[in-house]
Structure 1
Amino acid sequence: MQRRTSSIGIANGILSAAISGLFLTLAKITFNKVSVIYFSFVVMATTNLFFLAYLLARGKGAELILEGKSYPELYLVGFLASALNLMENWGLRLSSPVNAGILMRGDLLFSLLIGYLLWQEKLRPAEWLGMGAMLVGISMVLQISISNVRFGSLGDVLLLGSAFLLAVNAEIIKYRLYNVDNIIVAYFNSGVCAIFFFTLAVITKEILPIPRVGMSTWLLLMACIWLQVIAYPTYYCSLRDLPTWLARVLCLVTPIVTILASAVWLREKITSSQIWGIFLVAAGIVLMCWVQQKSSKEREKLK
């Protein structure tokens, strides 16, 4: 399995995480005017239509149909994405913010465990150090206090389950769909999610009437759609160029960007401990990038 340089994968991973952080901030603003279910349906359906138009414009209609018949995992990825989103949203309502901040990072541990059991992926000491710095840093950014942690509710189980499905989904995309075009994977993923949220919107009677909101809300919705369109292929590129655990570790950038964007647009305050946490996460990323670059050069010498 030929891989490109890890620097490209790292750049795509950081870009995808940063885009997701901006997406979450804009989505939070939009939720003041539009329901979560309606928002999710519109974003996923429009994103899916964009990918379809892009593939047809490139003359990949036949390939799209062929891949859909050859890779049932394409539908599974979309189903798992829908399920984990539902479990995550439900878990956030039933669990405490502190528990959510910890358990939603569980995908890192699941990715490490799956990588070790299936592919014998092992971390070097410097990578453990970098990951530790990032986890401590993100705990400071999210202002997690261990003294306030109490596990055991249904919400905790749902959040942990969503983290596990996220890790499984990443492994499927990386190892089962490696030869499938990223945009085709994104098309099926967003398509299944759109059908899922459309069904929820019909059941909850949120599909009609169309919300009467101002132009600013529709512009925010369009911005979220474009961010989602970019986030899909950049994340998939990072998955294919990097170990799954590292691609998931880079997603720790997302809450940092969310907090920074919220400070700018929502006037939310940033504490000094959060700033130190951001520096710790940045230091962890730099250390891991250095290790990956070093290992890439070593592999090149062995060829």
Structure 2
Amino acid sequence: MFASSDRVLKLAVGPVLLAALGSALDIPVSTLTQITDFGDNPTGVENYVYVPATLADPPALIAAIHYCTGTAQAYYSGTEYATLAEKYGYIVLYPEAPAEGKCWDVHTDETLTHDAGGDSLGIANGLRYLVDLYGVDSEQVFATGTSSGAMMTNVLAGAYPDLIKAGAAFAGVPYACFAGESAWSTECAQGQLIKSGEEWGALALAGYAGYTGTRPKMALWHGSVDTTLNTQNYYEEIKQWTNIFGVSENATSVTEDWPISGWTLSEFGDNVQGILASGVDHNIPVQAQKVLEWFGIA
């Protein structure tokens, strides 16, 4: 872990750095700015970036992904990721879903498959573009989101494990839980799609067939009385990611009242953690500082 003061690098420190940044100079600092021409984008995802006034050397990169009916601007304004970027020197990508209603495509074969298309490819290519543009540390590329954005976080973790190194999903569902012809799965949403850890794990591994590298560690946050994406999905996510890492579905440690009174942190080895918020419905508040700590940024 690095202190922010040890890692930040001023954007304007001399001609060598300015030349290296190239077209990054066209992106104003401390402002939400749309980027274009970032690569293949078959569904028309809109990508916006927030670059702080100072960057870590090298910087980390987070995709912060909105909920259904949301926008990049709404998630930018409604979470602390941009504010905290000024402290820790990372870059934030705020994607915006192209579909009417602003839900993410988390159901098609294309979006669930590495480099095959769908909304996930538009996000992945936005991240790749920023990695190249700013010299981002490839080991510090992360994804987080709420509701539909949490579902997309799981999709990216399954389909792009070479790109995403950790995820934090707030009120989501397992990778491929919504798979099928329809954009909405009532069976999954109501917590009726029950599988074994082996079955869930096989689905996630199929997102990038043949990939043998490391998998992103996952933090799974959910309200205990969520009826929009039923809380059973929290337990199904735990099955999936503990299977991916070959660890028990039984927690190795449990911490009560973390990080808020009534919330419980369950850890499943080093790479999977679940946070169950007692009495909280689908509108679980994002805990940005804890997400950054999970990512190793803070």
Instruction: Decide: shared fold, TM above 0.5.
Output: no
Of structures 1 and 2, the one with the larger relative CO (CA 8 A, separation 6+) is 1
Structure showing greater Rg = 1
More strand by share: 2
